[in-house]
Amino acid sequence: MENEDDQASKEVWETVKLANSDHLKFEDYIGVYEDNWFGKIEVFLKGKLLWFKSYRSPKLNGAMSFYKANTFAIKWEYQDMNANAFAMFSLDEEGKAQSIKMKGISPNIDFSFDFQDLNLERIK
């Protein structure tokens, strides 16, 4: 199970390394998003990377790397938990992010990280 987990995560990060994000306009993703239960998060530019920051859960703070389509892989700064996650953006007709859905990268992520239950909506 652990090898399977390691392999799945390894494949995601290999894809990230090869992904070309030149077509992205980071300003279309930058903003504050909110989930009724989880609270507010912010997506902002830090250096040359998009960054995810949770206001309520300070350990959920990390770099967002382009993966595929409208999906980014988040590597949390705090790595004592195996909880790296995908952030999948829903875009409007102009390509501007409106919401984020999330899920764990590892198939064996601890069930307490219920990222799939989040519905982060952009705050206007």
**pLDDT tens per residue, range 71-115:** 999 999 987 777 899 999 999 999 999 999 999 898 877 777 788
Q: For residue 4, which phi and psi values (nearest 5 degrees)?
A: -60, -45
Write the CATH number of the domain with boundaries 2-20+27-122.
2.40.128.600
Q: Taking the model in full, what pTM does it have?
A: 0.89
Domain residue spans of the chain: 2-20+27-122
The rounded mean pLDDT for the chain is 90
118: its two tokens? 């989040």
pLDDT for position 61: 95
What's the average model confidence in pLDDT over 19-28? 91
d(CA 105, CA 45): 22
